[in-house]
């Protein structure tokens, strides 16, 4: 029975009730040891009724064993693995040791865990209980929390209990579990122990109403003390340790068994090690072990109430029992227990026991920890691998080997989403590297990459530019391009030109030479693009994006970004995905697919925050701010732009600072505030490295020209056009020529130039902007019939895209031209959420629910749930009808040609 916990139980009931109705969620119970968190979890599991319960408990002895907790919680439902998409299926099987191979990265594994829990939740729902989360191994914690952040449409309640301030990342709902209310504590003492009210009040005061302390202390008091006839002892029995005297009262054999169980929870291993140690009598020398066997010692421990057998594991009644057992042993005794356990175990368990037995540096233990780290890394347990490699480094005597292991630990920590730990490990590795130039360069390249993702991009340039390899020069150019440091890109490009010909060399050197005005630059860029068919990595396609952008071909850059996104999603190593999605989201926005861009940036933002990629967070916030501007959402645009700038400017990421500044300028342009927009665009063009970027200036030049014309600054408009012409001098794609023609139409008031732009446009959204400008001119020159044709096309396109300010502007012009038509009927997709729109688009591409789930890190059931919502919104009843509608709405004319 629970006493005084109505508020806590109510909070848990609400989470469970919502999960039962299909709106899952997670909650954290946080409190000190003994406060009653486990009792609340037990009660919640019972109150779930028909809901399935999966449970795991963190064990301090298994904190460094990758996927120990995940194995415990998922083992009962592994029969549902075949329902998962193949990449997720393979990742989970590898993580649980059910198959050889690798689990891929933690996003893929987390998605697999999420999908498997969703399968387990059918049909009545699922309660997933995670107790003592502070001791759950890092690999399991990452996967479980990935799932916990994605439960909104699932029948899943995840309940975490954690001691103290241990973080539970991404679970916002926390219930603080404190001592019992005084009346409830007194009632508990009277009911269970017959404690009189006055004594109960004194005990409550002395223990802060901690239920465990109350129960343990009351059990040690005499009847006279409980009745208040004799004073309470001072200090109270048990004290802060509570279980120390009960551990001391055990026989030597039972204490030995308890110590082994405190180090290793597996019953078979505990029994084998206990028998060996009993024969040695090395842990407590001089004490008579008698003829007790391990099983008899376990029986005594169970009878004492200090531990119990749970399946094949020995579980202490409370973590403080384990602490008391440790405190009762000597350091030498604990080391000996580890040594014997190392003799009877294998794999990663053996490695950690060897480390526990080591005195000083020990290469044998270090080598086995490195092997354990490799195994954990292959299974996706990067956090565990980092811990193993860091401990291996501590045990390593030779400085270079120690530095190499610290470097590898830093990489694992980085891939595990812990940039702070990664940077600390790498700094230590650098101190140990000594005079090994090769290792020093490897460390420097990693330092530069870490800085580029989460730190100061200008510092990343400085670090990476010190290298001579093509890979480091390419990384340095990438960093300099984020900063917007043209001089550095030019210098680095010339250095790259000395390397052997190939796609990467041509891309890096070509960008630098082109920026320097060298006639050889564009040729190298064209040669790099000619090799696109040979590319296979997402990172290579991102270089193709940079090449196309340098040539002024934004439409080709968009295509390359889309390819990068597809490759990153199916590669099995999606750790780079948040960065790739920066470019994919930008490409979708430039193509006018605003809802798709929104969904991609929202996904990228979530993944970047999980990974700790601060500069990528800024990128997605900046893109979201631009999208908010296009929708006319002032408050959202300004907030997201400020958040992006707060990261980008201190980190000297001029590319993202420039996009965030562009969002604010575009907002003014969309809302017709031409003078303010013109001022902002002028400031963007003048911004130096770290706060602005040449690519932003180039990409936004058509907007700058339009703002300048609207503000009446003809000189400024012509200057912006001339700069845009210089940048696009080598562009060959129709869309690049169309944008130039539109700018000329604005500066020259030329209907012919607008007409040429409309003939060349391949981007429907940009074509609509040109049509709006031409339609406005035609109306003002008293040709309403011609104007209506252009304005109607513009209005319909803006409505479909969700660009509300421009849609209102086009509609107003259309009415002024004598037409008051209805809103376009082809805007049905506007009813979908960004996530639903992405799923609908993938259905239109012919993907199954499993394939969609694999791409979007969802469960197949989540995909089906969204389809269940999509069909009635759009008035369709099948995938075929949905696909047909999506094709019609995205490209009506093209679709009609296909029918």
d(CA 371, CA 347): 8
| Residue 897, pLDDT score | 34
Percent of the chain at pLDDT exceeding 70? 95
Tokens of 634: 């002032």
Q: Give strand pairing partners of 161.
A: 29
Q: How far lies 355's CA from each of 339, 451, 673, in Å?
A: 9, 33, 67
List of residues 6+ apart from 8 with CB closer than 8 A? 29, 40, 175, 177
Band of the pLDDT at 707, cuts 50, 70, 90?
A: very high
Alpha-carbon distance of 775 to 760, in angstroms, equals: 17
What does pTM read for this prediction? 0.82
Q: Return the structure tokens found at 865.
A: 């749930």
| Strand duo 52-57 + 174-176: pairing | unpaired
Give the Cα separation of 282 and 853 in Å (integer).
56
Task: For the chain, report the end-to-end CA distance as a whole number of angstroms.
Answer: 69
Characterize the bridge pairing of strands 126-131 and 156-163.
parallel
Report pLDDT for 291: 42
- The DSSP code sequence of 625-656 is HHHHHHTT-HHHHHHHHHHHHHHHTTTT-HHH
CA angle 434, 491, 518 (to 5 degrees): 155
Q: What is the mean pLDDT of residues 10-24?
A: 96
Name the range with the highest mean pLDDT among 65-69, 157-161, 561-565, 597-601.
Answer: 157-161
pLDDT in tens, 475-505: 999 999 999 999 999 999 999 999 999 999 9
**∠ CA 490-494-497 to the nearest 5 degrees?**
140
281, exposed or middle or buried, with CB in 10 Å at 0-12, 13-18, 19+? Answer: middle
Q: d(Cα 479, Cα 463) in Å, to the nearest integer? A: 10
pLDDT at 417: 79
Residue 189 to residue 180: CA distance in whole angstroms:
11
* Cα 807 to Cα 822: distance, rounded to the nearest angstrom: 12
Smallest CA-to-CA distance from 809 within 635, 706, 677, 671 is with 671
Please confirm whether the linkage preceding 123 is cis (ω < 30° from 0): yes
Residue 641 scores a pLDDT above 90? yes
How many CB atoms sit inside 10 A of residue 868's CB?
A: 10
Per DSSP, helices labelled H in 802-891 are 804-816, 834-844, 849-856, 860-874, 879-890
The whole-angstrom separation of Cα 341 and Cα 353 is 6
| pLDDT value of position 28 | 97
β strands within 100-191, DSSP E: 126-131, 156-163, 174-176
List C-alpha distances in Å: 8 to 4, 125, 167, 176: 9, 21, 20, 8
Peptide bond into 749 cis (omega under 30): no
For the record, the structure tokens of 427 come out as 């700094």
| Dihedral sign from CA coordinates of 433, 437, 442, 446 | positive
As beta bridge partners, residue 867 has: none
> Rounded distance, CA 734 to CA 770, Å?
14
Span 258-282, average pLDDT: 87
Go through the chain and tell me how many residues it has: 899
Is-contact 363 117, C-beta < 8 A?
Answer: no
How far apart CA 643 and CA 851 sit, in angstroms, is 34
CA dihedral 77, 81, 82, 87 (to 10 degrees): 170
CATH topology of domain 827-898: Arc Repressor Mutant, subunit A (1.10.10)
- CA-closest candidate to residue 553, choices 594, 584, 524, 522: 522
Q: For the ranges 29-33, 45-49, 206-210, which has the lowest average pLDDT?
A: 206-210
What pLDDT score was predicted for residue 240? 46
CATH class of 6-176: alpha beta
On the question of pLDDT at 733 being above 90, the answer is: no
Output the pLDDT for position 331: 92
What is the Cα–Cα distance from 366 to 368, expressed in whole angstroms?
5
Least confident of 291-305, 529-543, 788-802: 291-305
Count of beta carbons in the 10 Å neighbourhood of residue 102: 17
| Structural contact between residues 506 and 474, judged by C-beta atoms closer than 8 angstroms | no
- Centre a 10 Å sphere on the Cβ of residue 592 and count the other Cβ atoms it contains: 23
- Name the residue ranges covered by the structural domains of the chain: 6-176, 182-240, 246-437, 438-516, 827-898
Distance CA 800, CA 888 (A): 11
Backbone angles phi, psi at 315, to 5 degrees: -120, 130
pLDDT value of residue 575: 65
Tokens standing for residue 2: 């629970």
Residue among 47, 62, 40 nearest 176 (CA): 40
pLDDT band at 217 (very low <50, low <70, confident <90, very high): confident
> Which pLDDT band holds residue 54 (cuts at 50, 70, 90)?
very high
Tokens at residue 111, please?
């998605």
Domain pair 6-176 / 827-898, same fold = no
Beta bridge partners of 128: 54, 158
CA dist 108 and 116 (Å) reads: 12
CATH number of 438-516: 1.25.40
CB–CB of 109/296 below 8 Å?
no
Q: Which helix (H) or strand (E) holds 54?
A: strand 52-57
User: The tokens of 472 are what?
Assistant: 């480091």
**pLDDT at site 283:** 55
| pLDDT for the residue 837 | 84
How high is the mean pLDDT of the chain?
89
Q: What is the CA radius of gyration of the chain?
A: 33
SS3 for 325-385 is HHHHCCHHHHHHHHHHHHHHCCHHHHHHHHHHHCCCCCHHHHHHHHHHHHHHHHCCCHHHH
């Amino acid at each position: 029975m629970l006493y005084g916990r109505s508020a806590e139980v109510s909070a848990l009931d609400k989470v469970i009730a919502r999960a039962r109705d299909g709106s899952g969620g997670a909650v954290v119970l946080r409190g000190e040891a003994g406060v009653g968190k486990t009792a609340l979890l037990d009660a919640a599991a019972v109150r779930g009724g028909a809901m399935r319960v999966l449970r795991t408990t963190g064990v301090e002895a298994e904190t460094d064993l990758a996927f120990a907790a995940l194995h415990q919680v998922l083992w009962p439902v592994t029969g549902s693995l075949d329902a998962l998409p193949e990449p997720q299926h393979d990742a989970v099987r590898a993580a649980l040791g059910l198959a050889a191979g690798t689990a891929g990265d933690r996003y893929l594994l987390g998605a697999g865990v999420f999908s498997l829990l969703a399968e387990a939740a059918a049909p009545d729902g699922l309660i997933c209980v995670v107790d003592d989360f502070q001791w759950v191994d890092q690999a399991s914690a990452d996967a479980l929390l990935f799932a916990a952040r994605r439960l909104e449409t699932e029948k899943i309640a995840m309940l975490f209990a954690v001691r103290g301030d241990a973080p539970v990342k991404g679970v916002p709902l926390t219930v603080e579990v404190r001592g019992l209310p005084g009346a409830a504590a007194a009632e508990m003492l009277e009911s269970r122990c017959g404690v009189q009210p006055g004594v109960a009040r004194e005990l409550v005061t002395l223990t802060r109403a901690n239920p465990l302390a109350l129960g343990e202390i009351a059990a040690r008091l005499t009847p006279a003390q409980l009745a208040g006839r004799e004073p309470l002892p001072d200090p109270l029995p048990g004290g802060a340790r509570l279980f120390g005297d009960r551990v001391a009262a055990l026989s030597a054999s039972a204490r030995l068994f308890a110590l082994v169980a405190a180090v290793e929870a597996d019953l078979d291993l505990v029994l084998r090690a206990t028998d060996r140690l009993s024969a040695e009598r090395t842990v407590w020398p001089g004490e008579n072990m008698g003829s007790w066997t391990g099983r008899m010692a376990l029986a005594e421990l169970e009878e004492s109430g200090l531990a119990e057998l749970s399946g094949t594991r020995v579980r202490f009644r409370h973590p403080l029992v384990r602490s008391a057992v440790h405190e009762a042993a000597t350091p030498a005794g604990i080391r000996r227990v580890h040594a014997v356990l190392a003799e009877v175990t294998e794999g990663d368990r053996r490695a950690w026991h060897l480390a526990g037995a080591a005195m000083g540096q020990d290469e044998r233990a270090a080598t086995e920890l490195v092997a354990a780290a490799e195994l954990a890394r292959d299974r996706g347990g990067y956090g565990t691998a980092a811990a193993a490699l860091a401990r291996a480094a501590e045990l390593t005597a030779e400085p270079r080997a120690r530095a190499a292991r610290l470097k590898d630990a830093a990489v694992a920590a980085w891939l595990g989403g812990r940039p702070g730990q990664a940077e600390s490990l790498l700094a230590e590795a650098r101190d140990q590297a000594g005079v090994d130039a090769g290792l020093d360069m490897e460390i420097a390249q990693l330092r530069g990459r870490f800085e580029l993702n989460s730190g100061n991009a200008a510092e990343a340039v400085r670090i990476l530019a010190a290298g001579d390899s093509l890979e480091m020069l390419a990384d340095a150019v990438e960093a300099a391009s984020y900063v917007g440091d043209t001089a550095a890109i030019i210098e680095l490009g010339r250095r790259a030109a000395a390397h052997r010909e190939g796609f990467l060399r041509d891309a890096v050197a070509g960008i630098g030479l082109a920026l320097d005005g060298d006639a050889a630059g564009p040729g190298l860029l064209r040669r790099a693009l000619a090799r696109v068919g040979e590319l296979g990595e997402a990172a290579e396609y991102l270089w193709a994006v940079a090449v196309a952008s340098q040539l002024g071909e934004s439409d080709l850059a968009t295509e390359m970004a889309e390819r990068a996104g597809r490759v990153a999603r199916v590669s099995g190593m999606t750790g780079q995905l948040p960065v790739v999605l920066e470019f994919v989201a930008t490409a979708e926005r430039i193509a006018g697919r605003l809802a798709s861009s929104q969904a991609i940036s929202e996904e990228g933002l979530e993944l970047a925050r999980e990974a700790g990629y601060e500069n990528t967070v800024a990128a997605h916030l900046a893109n979201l701010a631009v999208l908010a501007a296009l929708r006319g959402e002032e408050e959202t645009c300004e907030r997201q732009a400020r958040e992006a700038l707060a990261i980008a400017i201190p980190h000297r990421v001029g590319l993202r600072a420039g996009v965030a500044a562009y969002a604010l300028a575009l907002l003014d342009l969309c809302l017709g505030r031409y003078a303010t927009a013109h001022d902002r665009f002028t400031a963007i063009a003048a911004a130096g490295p770290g706060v602005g970027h040449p690519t932003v200036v180039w990409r936004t030049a058509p907007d700058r020209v339009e703002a300048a014309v609207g503000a009446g600054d003809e000189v400024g408009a012509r200057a912006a056009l001339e700069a845009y012409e210089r940048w696009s001098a080598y562009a060959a794609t129709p869309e690049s020529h169309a944008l130039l023609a539109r700018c000329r139409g604005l500066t020259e008031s030329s209907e012919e130039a607008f007409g040429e732009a409309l003939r060349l446009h391949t981007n429907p959204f940009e074509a609509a902007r040109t049509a709006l400008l031409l339609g406005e001119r035609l109306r003002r020159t008293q040709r309403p019939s011609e104007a209506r044709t252009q304005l109607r096309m513009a209005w319909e396109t803006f409505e479909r895209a969700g660009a509300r300010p421009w849609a209102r502007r086009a509609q107003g012009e259309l009415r002024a031209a004598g037409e008051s038509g209805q809103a376009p009927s082809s805007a049905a997709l506007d009813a979908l959420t960004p996530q639903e729109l992405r799923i609908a688009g993938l259905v239109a591409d012919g993907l199954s629910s499993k394939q969609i789930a694999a791409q979007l890190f969802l469960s197949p059931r989540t995909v089906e749930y969204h389809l269940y919502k999509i069909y009635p919104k759009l008035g369709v009843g099948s995938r075929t009808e949905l696909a047909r509608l999506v094709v019609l709405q995205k490209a009506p004319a093209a679709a009609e040609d296909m029918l």
